[in-house]
Structure 1
């Protein structure tokens, strides 16, 4: 049976990662004035994806050992010693705005990869 191609699974994971990171950035900006709030972020996509799907052995079918096909990333408190404001808050609006642009670029890239993959698949089926 036809399974989801690797490139589409990667694009889907990249878009999910971008959404999770955008949520963390938005939460940081919303709590920029909250005393004691620690800035949060998500690990870079390549590290998270390699941890979920990388490794020496590769599962190419659902029956293979370790072929879970799941991608998970989590929001963690960011380590930034010495950058806290007097009220204990570690959010920098400027850095959050830069991260927001990075996240938009990552999401746009994921959508472009997905769209290109669909166009190639449609062309190969003669429906392009």
Structure 2
């Protein structure tokens, strides 16, 4: 029942996106001493939503024109624009720690949205 509501789908997508971003941050930190490793990054959820067309019109019936039946937020991994060190590695531990904090906040925000939605539904149902 809850999975069909857009609020829960969006908060779930936001939490999954944060998990993808955290995995990339962890990979960057793990390869901080690897010569030639180029740091990767995943854009924030808001940027991913802007580029995915999720807010565009949706097709609810087959005879609707120009609608999308299923739009999804995709976590695209891109190479970081950081300046590489002499050994070719572009990982900055300080930047990765800041990205980690930003991702943690994004994940916490997704969970707060989900919890609030459940609270509203429970209050509506009188439970």
- TM-score normalized with structure 1 length: 0.85
The match for 2:72 is 70
Shift of 1:61: 3.6
Q: 1:2 to 1:86 in 2, by over 3 A?
A: closer
Contact 2:14-2:107 at 8 Å conserved across structures:
yes
Stretches (4+) displaced over 3 A = 60-65
The aligned counterpart of 1:17 is 17
The corresponding residue for 2:5 is 5
Q: 1:30 to 1:73 in 2, by over 3 A?
A: same
Distance in 1, matches of 2:126 and 2:61, equals 28
Q: Residues 17-36 of structure 1: matches in 2 within 5 Å?
A: 17-36=17-36
In structure 1, the partner of 2:50 is 50
- Structure 1 position 3, deviation (Å): 6.3
Q: Which residue of 2 aligns with 1:59?
A: 58
Counterpart position of 2:98: 98
CA 1:2/1:77 → structure 2, altered by over 3 Å: closer, same or farther?
A: closer
1:121 partner SS: helix
Q: Which runs of 5+ in 2 are unaligned?
A: none
* Partners of 2:60 and 2:108 in 1: CA distance: 29
| Pair 88,59 (structure 1): closer, same or farther in 2 beyond 3 Å | same
**Does the 8 Å contact 1:62/1:68 carry over to 2?**
no
